[in-house]
Amino acid sequence: MNKRERTFFGHPWGLATLFGTEMWERFSWYGLRAILALFLAASPAMGGLGMSQQTAQAVVGVYGALIYLVALPGGWVADRILGPRRSVFWGGFIIMCGHISMAIPVSGSFFIWLGLSTIIVGTGLLKPNISVMVGKLYSEEDDARRDSGFSLFYLGINLGAFFAPLVVGTLAAGNRWHLGFGAAAVGMALGLLQYVLGRKNLRGVGDKPGEPLTPEERRRVSRLVSIIVLAVVIAMAAWVATGTFTLDAFTVVVTVVILAVPVAYFGYIMIGEHGLTEDERTHMKAYIWLFIAAAIFWMIYDLAPSKLLFFAENNTTLELFGIPIQASATQSFNPLFIMIFVPFFAALWLKLGNRVSTSQKFGFALLMVGLSFIVMAVAALLAESGKVSVWWLVLVYLIQVFGELSLSPVGLSVTTKLAPHAFKGQMLGVWFIAVSVGDAVGGQTGRLNEIMSDPAYFLVLAAIAIVAGIALFIFTRKLRAMMREHPTPAGPPIR
């Protein structure tokens, strides 16, 4: 890099453009997420859609699941058709339109469903491709600066995630839901504006697709997409015509489809003829167990914007240090703790090296998220006699963040490490499917409240996570051998 060139904390100035775009996109995403479940469950008299909490939890779960699932086709569109730069622009524009749709202050749910669907499509285009562009700002040999650049980028994500619930939640208070949705639209508009103004700083990064479709491939893809869309429309129309369509049934069907995706994909990898070596097949067998563990983790962790948000609204005294807060503000605890503890965990994993295996880190994450729900069970039990302090949720999110920082970055790393050569470019998308599966299944767990109390509900999910975590510790030696992970024989003592 030219020493006279303007930099962003020592990085290419294009990182500032992408940092700001992602920060505002995450502001819009986390702002909506912080009030969505409350809006869905609020009565029509309060401006909401009047769903039960169980249905609202299922809808939020499926919405989050689809957001992560569409990252796969979104990455493909960038690679083969639009290129990352245009994919990010059009993704941001579509997201903004989705929030605007939700901000229209009319009764009924049409513009809400239109907005949510549009946001899903736009996020699929933006989310995976903006990360690709960050990586392309650096040369292949510049690993250290690239890692540092992604750390700054990660900071932008959490800044947006921290401020969004505070701003959007405050504006939406008093049943001003559409004002909150409008704030999310403004956030995405600001991100889009600075992305367009900062285009010159990207210096052509992501301008072209990596492997553009040939004219014949375009025709085949157009036919296939048309057939799929037509089939889905016909199937939905037929379902509605039978009179059996309900929102609850729809979320169950979508959850089943999402569960089928990784089953089909792993089956395709393991059974198909792809020239996999014996080591690659063994690696994939180990990875499947890690994938299941990650899905269990996200099943509980991503109940924050639904089950835990309802608990904050209905069962806690919403006050911190004597200052009243909105229930949505509890969604800011998580990104705050992440920003505080990321440096600590980064240094910890560097110091531990290979002496702690991937399966042990995943096991620890599951134990943490399980412990957090034991705490929730205690809080829920106390709440049966009256509202409890919101500090219970502060403790829950603190424990959960310890788990996330043990699993999320480690999962991305191990995915690239264990991916077969023939599937290197696709496996990061597969990692996000674990989040999708967890979100979808987590949304459905709300139905357990029809047969059990809140304390029992939290304990059941805690038990699932803890059993899974213990299993990973028990089979650490086996998984380590399958992954070809070996402990470092020498190194500084752990203090």
Question: Tokens at residue 353, please?
Answer: 């090296």
Measured CA to CA, the distance from residue 480 to residue 495 in angstroms comes to 24
pLDDT at 473: 93
Which residues lie below 8 Å from residue 79, measured CB to CB, with a gap of 6+?
209, 210, 211, 425
- pLDDT score of 5: 61
pLDDT of 343: 84
Helices (H) and strands (E) in the chain, counts: 18, 6
pLDDT in tens for each of the 495 residues of the chain? Answer: 455 566 766 778 888 888 889 999 999 999 999 999 999 999 999 999 999 999 999 999 999 999 999 988 888 888 888 888 999 999 999 999 999 999 999 888 999 999 999 999 999 999 888 887 887 787 766 656 666 677 777 888 899 999 999 999 999 999 999 999 999 999 999 999 989 998 888 888 878 887 888 889 899 999 999 999 999 999 999 999 999 999 999 999 999 999 999 999 888 888 877 778 888 888 889 999 999 999 999 999 999 999 999 999 999 999 999 899 999 999 999 999 999 998 888 788 778 777 788 889 999 999 999 999 999 999 999 999 999 999 999 999 999 999 999 898 788 778 878 878 777 667 777 888 999 999 999 999 999 999 999 999 999 999 999 999 999 999 988 988 888 775 443 333 333
| Main-chain dihedrals φ then ψ at residue 85, nearest 5 degrees | -65, -50
Cα separation, 44 vs 39, in Å, equals: 10
- Within its chain, how far is the Cα of 458 from the centroid? 22
Q: What kind and span of H or E run contains 445?
A: none
Give, in order, the Cα–Cα distances in Å from 261 to each of 168, 290, 415.
34, 16, 17
Quote the pLDDT of residue 77. 87
